[in-house]
Chains A and B, each alone.
Chain A
Amino acid sequence: MLQLNNVEARYGSFKALEQVSMSVAQGELVVLLGANGAGKSTLFNTISGLIKPSAGTITLDGTDVTGLKPSGLVQSGVVQCPEGRKLFPEMSVLKNLMLGAYVHRRDKAAIKKTLEEILALFPILDEKKDQSAGSLSGGQQQMVAIGRAMMGRPKLLLLDEPSLGLAPLVVKQMFETIKGINEQGTTVLLAEQNAFAALKIAHRAYVIENGRLVMEGDKDAMLGNEAIRKAYIGA
């Protein structure tokens, strides 16, 4: 579904991504592991079109989408739930979710249906739908962020560190929710530092270090890999 070929991204003269080639197949849940500053968010923002790659190509279902605007990528089905959530803090939860469906704004009936599905997935958001998004707890804000991304009815959902700053119990629920979303048919690319929990729900994983992909493998190979255990699981 998603294919990156030798993608390179720069901040000025600094190469934040170098020769990144990866693929995500239809229906997969792929994890991207990496420490802070390894380039996870840069990679996600490059896929989302917020950063223009300085070299390489990105294709989606065989179509070249390199250099497309963020709005164009959302329209073609790539929706990112960013690190730090990037909600509209003074708007109500409901408004945040509705804006997530901005690209489908003419299809009122479908929006209503997706909204019902998301409120069923996160019942707490139904209770809090008239409160401002900024007044919610971290975990609830993360639900709004994921819900908002899901309102865009993504083919490929990019989740950038959804567990960041959440209580352990909430993190567990979050991963279960992500697994559920994937099982419902949405392809997921998940960036995480929480390697063990992420790998458990994943099909495959990549490891990114200093802007390069240094390792790739399926779930079991990664969980059994000594270097991974040392670096990211701490056991």
Chain B
Amino acid sequence: MELFFQQVLNGLTLGSIYGLVALGLTLVYGILHVPNFAHGALYMVGAYVSYITMVDFGVNYWVAMLLAAVAVAVLAVLCERLVFNPLRDAPPIHDKIAAIGIMLFLEALVQMQWGAEFRRMPTPYTEILDIAGMTIPAQRVLIIAGAFSLMAVLHLFLKKTMTGSTIVAMAQNREGAFLVGIDANRVAMMTFAISGALAAVGATLFAPINLVYPAMGHLLIMKAFVIIILGGMGSIPGAIVGGLIIGFAEAFGGFYISTDYKDIIAFALLVVILSIKPTGLFSKGVH
């Protein structure tokens, strides 16, 4: 039974990070209909900013997380201004090509600057907690608590504030949003900033139990796409639930089947769910 709960914990850890990354992706998709393939690279840059500020400048973990969130938010806004905004009237394929271009550019830049080697991010939370027979690393508790609190804050922001509502309004009816005086550029920049900050925080939470390297975003972005397709493109609850489904599937699949197949499980689930419900779990219609 302890082993089972251990897997629940692992599933929650993975799922909360996947959910956080997928949330940023789905927000941008819901509003601008841009599939931001560069989102994984933003995640990677977030991890590097945290790593560099902590290791080279001796900054506190939480301050490093904040710096990474701000830096990646700015970077995401720059991507929107310099790349996606000029392409807003171009055919959709141009956005996709540009997104892949940004991804390659950021990875090459990081590799040129800091090399391709794997690094381990330090964390001040190295204790192992022992609760009811389960061994729980403190960092995992931090990941789960951190990711879910951030999701709750984001939810409140989108639901309760006028500024947050403009993002939802734009996703539900773009023209209607323009006609009440919502500025498209403002919402686009804000959405990219939030999405970048979520990726950076996710990376800083997750990297201590993983590794930091230029290609670290690849598998994650693939899974995040699986998650938002599963959850319904643009759906916020879909991203969170989808993240948890994939997280649990990997944890249990890895344990009860084989860890070799851990990364395939997400994609197998995608095939199964889409053949049963082609529009995704939470989608309310086709865009």
Contact = CB atoms under 8 A, between A and B. Distances in A.
Given A90-B284, A105-B162, A99 B169 contact: yes
B179 A86 contact: yes
B169 A88 contact: yes
A90 B180 contact: no
Contact size class for A?
A: 20 to 34
A131 to B, nearest CB: 15
Contact of A74 (B169, B172, B173, B179): B179
Contacts of B179: 48, 50, 70, 74, 79-80, 82, 86, 149
A98 interface: yes
Contacts of B98: none
Nearest to A75: B181
A34 interface: no
Contacts of A148: 180
Contacts of B184: 71
Interface residues of B, number: 18
Contact of A152 (B168, B176, B180): B180
A172 interface: no
Interface in A50-75: 50, 69-71, 74-75
Considering residues B166, B168, B169, B173, which has the most beta carbons from chain A within 10 angstroms of its beta carbon?
A: B173
Interface string B174-217: 01111111111000000000000000000000000000000000
A91 interface: yes
A91 B176 contact: no
A102 B166 contact: yes
Contact of B173 (A88, A95, A100, A151): A88
B165 interface: yes
Interface string A78-113: 011010011111110001001110110100000000
Contacts of B162: 98-99, 102, 105
B180 A100 contact: yes
A88 B180 CA distance: 11
A98 B165 CA distance: 10
Interface string A30-62: 000000000000000000101000000000000
A86 B173 contact: yes
Q: Give the one of A75, A89, A151 with max B CB within 10 A.
A: A89
Contacts, number: 70
B178 A89 contact: no
A91 B175 contact: no
Contacts of A82: 175-176, 179
A43 B248 CA distance: 54
B181 A88 contact: no
A71 B169 contact: no
A69 B284 contact: no
Interface in B156-174: 162, 165-166, 168-169, 172-173
Nearest to B175: A86
Nearest to A103: B181
B172 A90 contact: yes
Contacts of B180: 74, 79, 99-100, 102-103, 148, 151-152
Contact of B178 (A70, A75, A88, A149): A70
Contacts of B175: 50, 82, 86
Interface string A131-167: 0000000000000000011011000000000000000
B168 A88 contact: yes
Given A90-B172, A90-B284, A71 B165 contact: no
B176 A70 contact: no
A84 to B, nearest CB: 9
Given A98-B162, A105-B162, A87 B173 contact: yes
Which 4 A-B residue pairs are closest in the complex by CB-CB distance?
A: A74-B181, A86-B176, A103-B181, A70-B178
